Amino acid sequence: MFLKYLLLGFLFYFLFKFIVDFVIPLAKTTRQVKKQFDAVREQQQQFYQKHQEPTPTPKQTSKSNQNDYIEFEEIK
């Protein structure tokens, strides 16, 4: 009877150690890596959205009229 309780105690101890030393750190690390990947993906999306927006064409400040054209002759 005592041996049965002793084996159950060892089983619970090793199960507890496995969960505390392996499962919980693994879950924390996985969560942290996922956050980093999400942050990188968000930065990439912002970068591509910023560069895919049509760039505004600069408006001409001075309108060219045909009256502004000055003919010239070539000097040799």
Question: Do you know the residue count of the chain?
Answer: 76
State which residues form the domain around 45: 18-50
Note the pTM of the prediction, 2 decimals.
Answer: 0.53
Considering the domain boundaries, does residue 56 fall inside one? no
Considering the domain boundaries, does residue 70 fall inside one? no
Considering the domain boundaries, does residue 64 fall inside one? no
Considering the domain boundaries, does residue 36 fall inside one? yes
Considering the domain boundaries, does residue 71 fall inside one? no
Terminal CA-CA length for the chain: 121
For residue 38, the model assigns a pLDDT of 97
Q: How many CA atoms lie within 13 A of 26 on its CB side?
A: 6
What does the pLDDT look like over 11-64, one tens digit per residue?
999 999 999 999 999 999 999 999 999 999 999 999 998 888 666 666 655 555
CA dist., res. 21 & res. 19, Å (int): 6
For residue 51, the model assigns a pLDDT of 86
What is the number of domains present in the chain? Answer: 1
Could you say which DSSP state residue 66 is in?
Answer: G
Considering the domain boundaries, does residue 34 fall inside one? yes
For residue 21, the model assigns a pLDDT of 96
CA dist., res. 34 & res. 42, Å (int): 12
Q: Which residue has the higher pLDDT, 65 or 75?
A: 75
Considering the domain boundaries, does residue 1 fall inside one? no
